Amino acid sequence: MPLRSNWSYPTAVRMGAGRIAELAEACRGAGITKPLLVTDPGLSGLPMIAHAVEICRAAGLPVVVFDTVQANPIDRNVEDGVAVFRAGGHDGVIAFGGGSALDCGKVIAFAAGQTRPLWDFEDIGDWWTRANPDAIAPIIAVPTTAGTGSETGRAGVITNSATHTKKVIFHPLMMPKVVIADPELTVGLPPRMTAGTGMDALSHCLEAYCAPGYHPMADGIAVEGARLVHAHLRTAVRDGADIIARTHMMAAAAMGSTAFQKGLGAMHALAHPMGALFNTHHGMTNAVLMPYVLAFNRAAIEARIERLAAYCGMSPGFDAYVAEILALRADIGVPHTLLELGIDRDYRTKIIEMAIVDPTAGGNPVLLDAAAAGALFDAAWNGRL
């Protein structure tokens, strides 16, 4: 039976191979008649972008491509995109690519109609209410990786280039109207990128599941998302043309971002400053940190991880689950330490200072203060569990 279905939680998701053919229809359904397709320079010259443009233009939609989006997008990328959006009279965005392109595309659609500075809408308290909701353009999301889950999220992460700090821009209407999750678009993703993005999906599921608070819906989504990663990521890395594995990984990515409305934690709190300072791949950074954070949080999460291990069909116990994380990392080429990742130890103090005030720090099940962040940094630097 083909893996093909329509979902409506948390938004409309068209899941299945070949569904990029429905792009123009999705745009029209969202009220978009002149889309701006936002992607990155690595994708813009590939046949998949040309095909998407052809689909839109054949349907009478005069699409324009904006591809000035870097990995870990910065404020200048958003400003340039907003200028193109306004100058071209666009009325919606097709965010097409990995997490960086999706985040940037969503923020462009949000910011193009606002009059206040971008940082006035950081995800702090009720700052999102400052926005004019009627001026937020509709978004169609087309992920080409299975990791960030930005396609089912209401926020975008943008780096403030003046402070080298990652900021979360949030508004409920940044949720894409339609997601086209076509696993065929991920087939050409290199093994290392497949590994990093897949581990990002797992980090979302794990941190959401372990975050304190009552949210059984998020917990249920998170454990199944984690099971899908454990069952299919190795295959997706080894054989990128395996559509079944690619489909399950796309589902896991969307599930991770759906679940983390409950919260994230120390993996992300430390990974955000590392990515901002060293431009490391976000998912790979989370993957390096993962076992050290699990071990640090053990007293608060052991019973939960034991249940997760059982659900995933692993040997019982916390230690067995961490052993599987280590084996998975080794099998798909994740570095074991921050040193191997390229993090400069001279930035230890700066990273700690940034991590403990990161918005995700408060979701860690154990208090992430300076001492805790320092202990985690040292453990991950030295490879000490």
pLDDT value for 9: 77
Burial 151-176 (b: 16+ CB within 10 A, else e): bbbbbbbbbeeeeebbbbbbbebbbb
- Given a contact cutoff of 8 angstroms between Cβ atoms, the answer to whether 175 and 11 are in contact is yes
Among the listed ranges 35-39, 135-139, 260-264, 299-303, which one has the minimum average pLDDT value?
260-264
Q: 152 with 269, same domain?
A: no
* Per-residue pLDDT reduced to its tens digit, 40-71: 999 999 999 999 999 999 999 999 999 999 99
* Per-residue pLDDT reduced to its tens digit, 162-195: 998 889 999 999 999 999 999 999 999 999 999 9
| pLDDT at 8 > cutoff 90 | no
The residue-averaged pLDDT of 128-142 equals 98
User: Which residue reads 């899908």 in tokens?
Assistant: 228
Q: 29 with 96, same domain?
A: yes
Q: 138 with 16, same domain?
A: yes
Q: 65 with 150, same domain?
A: yes
Q: 204 with 277, same domain?
A: yes
Name the pTM for this structure. 0.93
Look at the chain and report how many structural domains it folds into.
2
- Gap between the Cα atoms of 194 and 303, Å rounded: 30
pLDDT value for 3: 79
Parent domain of 282 = 191-382
The rounded percent of the chain whose pLDDT value lies above 70 is 99
pLDDT value for 205: 98
Q: 23 with 99, same domain?
A: yes
Half-sphere exposure of 122 (CA within 13 A, CB side): 12
CA distances from 52 to 57, 58, 247 (A): 9, 10, 20
- Of 185, 209, 241, which closes a domain? 185
The residue-averaged pLDDT of 298-303 equals 98
- Which residue in 165, 62, 148, 46 sits closest to 105, CA to CA? 148
Q: 114 with 217, same domain?
A: no
Q: 179 with 207, same domain?
A: no
* Per-residue pLDDT reduced to its tens digit, 234-257: 999 999 999 999 999 999 999 999
The rounded percent of the chain whose pLDDT value lies above 90 is 94
Among the listed ranges 136-140, 266-270, 314-318, 364-368, which one has the minimum average pLDDT value?
314-318
- Of 140, 155, 185, which closes a domain? 185
Q: 177 with 307, same domain?
A: no
* The residue count for the chain: 385
| pLDDT at 334 > cutoff 80 | yes
pLDDT value for 1: 55
* Per-residue pLDDT reduced to its tens digit, 190-208: 999 999 999 999 999 999 9
- Gap between the Cα atoms of 203 and 182, Å rounded: 22
| pLDDT at 290 > cutoff 70 | yes
CATH code of the domain in which 335 resides: 1.20.1090.10
Q: 83 with 143, same domain?
A: yes
- Of 151, 185, 219, which closes a domain? 185
The residue-averaged pLDDT of 1-28 equals 88
CA distances from 35 to 30, 32, 275, 308 (A): 11, 6, 30, 42
Q: 351 with 231, same domain?
A: yes
Q: 16 with 158, same domain?
A: yes
The residue-averaged pLDDT of 285-296 equals 98
| pLDDT at 6 > cutoff 90 | no
Burial class (CB in 10 A: 0-12, 13-18, 19+), 303: exposed
CATH code of the domain in which 42 resides: 3.40.50.1970
